[in-house]
Amino acid sequence: MKRLKKISKWLGITLVLLITILTVTVAMKQNEKYKAPFPDIKASTDSNLINRGKHLVFSSAHCASCHSNTNSDSLLQLGIEPSLSGGHKFELEKGNIDSKNITAGKETGIGNLTDAGIT
């Protein structure tokens, strides 16, 4: 019985020590910032890559579902590409979120942003 108490005591001390070390380590690292160079991003002019991106936007990635304020699925079935002008409102408990305009327009879209600025 004494041996069991001794093992339990040291096991408890070891567990408390490990939990304390883990807690202190997490607390010290939670606000750590890493500095890494941002890669030089350039928009591609390759028509195959552009067509692949357009395919993703209007099909499997479903970008048009949120970045269009029209019924994008109906327009796509008719062969019409919906405008990605944003305006879709998500009403959530913590507040509302409006989807952004990701068209090439310079005044309301992303036309004035650099390639690296679109992140």
Q: Is the pLDDT of residue 10 over 90?
A: yes
51-90 per-position pLDDT tens digit? 998 888 888 888 888 888 778 777 877 888 888 888 788 8
Mean pLDDT of the residues in the chain:
85
Answer yes or no: is 58 within a domain.
Answer: yes
Q: Is the pLDDT of residue 18 over 80?
A: yes
Q: Is the pTM of this model over 0.85?
A: no
**Given pLDDT bands bounded at 50, 70 and 90, which one contains residue 119?**
low
Answer yes or no: is 41 within a domain.
Answer: no
| pLDDT given for residue 78 in this prediction | 83
The gap from C-alpha 77 to its chain's centroid, in whole angstroms, comes to 28
Phi, psi for residue 115 in degrees, rounded to 5: -60, -45
Structure-token match 């195959």, residue found: 48
| pLDDT given for residue 76 in this prediction | 78
Strand spans (E) along the chain: 89-92, 95-98
Which domain, by its residues, includes 57? Answer: 51-98
Answer yes or no: is 109 within a domain.
Answer: no
Domain count, the chain: 1
